Structure 1
């Protein structure tokens, strides 16, 4: 039996091959699977559960079918692109929403799960923006705006974010090690699994002589990656997008 972790697919109508690869991934992982965890940014942008596009409905139908037919629970942690996904879409997709920091016991070991954007403290501009857009009052006001207006705002934010990302260095885009260690010690976990940075890798380090691990599950663009956890091992898999 195994548990699967993916993140940062950034599904959109502009990249149908990624959606096809995702569906093929689901079709090929239907047996001996305890659960599927999606650690954020399933979609490139999310305006609200009241928006309905063919892609959104197609993905929801596929996930729901995958979960119900194969009795595989799907868990979701919001990303920085789709933090507005609500209970309505989660129910449509047969996903269970989790808090931004979540501790799960996997085969006897406590593991900390998160999207990963709160680990990148060197990206000070993003952290400032995050505090604003995650304000519950502002989110309520945003949801009251007409859908077409919200779509314009969402894509403007997305375009600005993409433009700035090109000029950011890896040390800014990457995680802050002190924050990684702080959260692991706070939650009393020796393993952290996350996404967001698109830097797929396994990291091993020590804190006061004790061994810890951090897994970045990577993004789905030129390659796709996922983490497979069993009772015996944690293994990152990387393949080309079809």
Structure 2
């Protein structure tokens, strides 16, 4: 992808819409919609790096109700011709084809490489990567198991959705509450993941979410790991101008 002059690529992650309650998350949803309205003016592309929702599950003929403002805004932006890319997080990993069919937004379940101008990026949500985090990795294997998903789909949404919402907030392996503090470079598993990937191939930027912390860390020669933070405490986002990537804070 080549960026025209005065165009930018934007990155956002970890909105957790619906948490801790629909009522309390509504102001955050409105703020995120305001951000989308702002960036659409000069966006060449928008990347959403997961956990847009605190819980999401696609039944064959139904999706969780709510979030119409953000879904409508994404549809508007995509219909205007601006590409949007979505990477599932640990809270919305049960996405299937709704975004693709309804919004024309591709959905990725693993990190993916991109090249913008002459800069190489590795982009993803970040959950389950690198050393450690073994409890969550075991849980993710269960959640991504096709048989488990098939069994869960037989629960009526009036039963399945409240159960999943409760676990999404209360279960620390799912919610990530234990990872809310900076652990130091040697203990940040996404930093270690980035350094290991550099042994195989050079990337200018590793861009992830999941950690809920805005971070910019040099991981190699001309290589940087960036964590996008969140839309709960920081309201931070990434912006690439064709040469450099920066972290910014949205203020209405």
Give the TM-score band, short-chain normalised.
Answer: 0.7 to 0.9
Structure-2 separation of matches of 1:121 and 1:153: 30
CA distance in 1, matches of 2:209, 2:150: 27
Q: Paired residue for 2:53?
A: 43
TM-score when scaled to structure 1? 0.87
User: Aligned in 2, Cα 1:178/1:29: closer, same or farther, shift over 3 Å?
Assistant: closer
Paired position in structure 1 for 2:17: 11
2:157 to 139, 147, 152: 147
1:91 aligned residue: 101
Distance 1:91 1:217 in 2: 27
TM-score, normalised to structure 2, is 0.84
Q: Deviations over 1:165-197 (max 9, x none)?
A: 545564399425332222344454232000000
Q: CA deviation at 1:128?
A: 1.6
Distance 1:174-1:143 versus aligned 2 partners, 3 A rule: farther
Superposed displacement of residue 80, structure 1: 0.3
Q: In the alignment, what sits opposite 2:66?
A: 54
Aligned to 1:220: 231
CA RMSD of aligned residues (A): 2.4
* Count of aligned pairs between the two proteins: 236
Aligned to 2:98, what secondary structure does the other structure show?
helix
Q: Which runs of structure 2 are paired with 1:197-236 in the superposition (5 Å)?
A: 197-206=211-220, 210-236=221-247
For structure 2, the 5+ residue unaligned runs are: 1-6
Measured in 2, the distance between the counterparts of 1:80 and 1:54 equals 19
Q: Which runs of 4+ in 1 moved over 6 A?
A: none
Q: Does the CA-based 8 Å contact 1:47-1:154 persist in structure 2?
A: no
Residue segments in structure 1 that go unaligned for 5+ positions in a row: none
Deviation for aligned residue 1:152? 3.4
| 1:177 aligned residue | 191
Q: Distance in 1 between matches of 2:13 and 2:198?
A: 20
Name the counterpart of 1:137.
147
